[in-house]
Amino acid sequence: MTEILVIDDDTNVLDATKDALNAFGYEVHTSTSPDEAFQLLHQNPNRFDLILLDWQFPCAVHGDMFLKLINHCIPDFKKPIIFITGHTSFISKHAIRLGAYDTLAKPIIADVLIDAVERALQKRPPENPHQKVPADMSWQKQKKLELAMRITDAIISTNSLSDAAQKLECSRMTLNRWLRFTGLNSFVIIKEHQSKGKITQ
């Protein structure tokens, strides 16, 4: 399974990014510390297939310094790195010069995130930075449909949203995020399948 390392000091960003990537079948390891993340990469440079990295941290090591450390200390590291930042127009060219694959703007749009990740893993050129939403979203639509079907099946078969989350191996909070992401309405699902048993909240 493809494993992605996400590094950001904002736990809300980490949780939302992890949920979006998990929904599309990616295994995700998160870290709020650049130092911890660097040690993980230094110990096993081939563990992760892609890195999502915040540009600015409250500590001395920011995203550009992190990338310079990788280039200097792990010269054989060739996996794509995507920066996440609130200042893409200012940072993008600098990040690319340092060897980053792409930059994404905060707040992150899930479809744009997945498209950038897929492009990086397939070694395709980055999307046009002036185009906010990728033109061809067929792959994402297919994955979103598959996730929606899994969620619907879990809710119907377990008779409980909590049990559905357990069946999907996620928390209730993550299930709620997935419901919003896929556009599903749990109450509509419940109403349409009342004949199969009462589903509790």
Burial category of 58 from C-beta neighbours within 10 Å (exposed 0-12, middle 13-18, buried 19 and up): exposed
1: confidence class by pLDDT, cuts 50, 70, 90? confident
CATH no. of 3-121 = 3.40.50.2300
pLDDT in tens, 83-106: 888 766 556 667 777 778 888 888
Would you say residue 24 has pLDDT above 80? yes
Q: Read off the pLDDT of residues 48-77 as tens digits, 9 standing for 90 and up.
A: 999 998 888 766 667 778 888 888 888 888
Residues 22, 24: Cα–Cα separation, whole Å: 5
**CA gap 151, 112 in Å, rounded:** 22
Token reading at 130: 């002036």
CA angle 19, 196, 149 (to 5 degrees): 30
pTM for this predicted structure: 0.64
Q: Name the DSSP letter for residue 200.
A: B
Percentage of the chain lying above the pLDDT 70 cut = 75
When pLDDT is cut at 50, 70 and 90, the band that residue 5 belongs to is: very high
Edge-to-edge strand ranges of the sheet holding 27-31? 27-31, 3-7, 50-54, 81-85, 102-105
Average pLDDT score over residue span 158-170: 80
Q: Which of 1, 3, 37, 19 is nearest to 113 (CA)?
A: 19
Higher pLDDT, 54 or 139: 54
121 or 56, greater pLDDT: 121
8-state DSSP, 6: E
Q: Which of 112, 189, 117 is nearest to 148 (CA)?
A: 189
Domain boundaries defined on the chain: 3-121, 138-196
pLDDT at 198 (0 to 100): 47
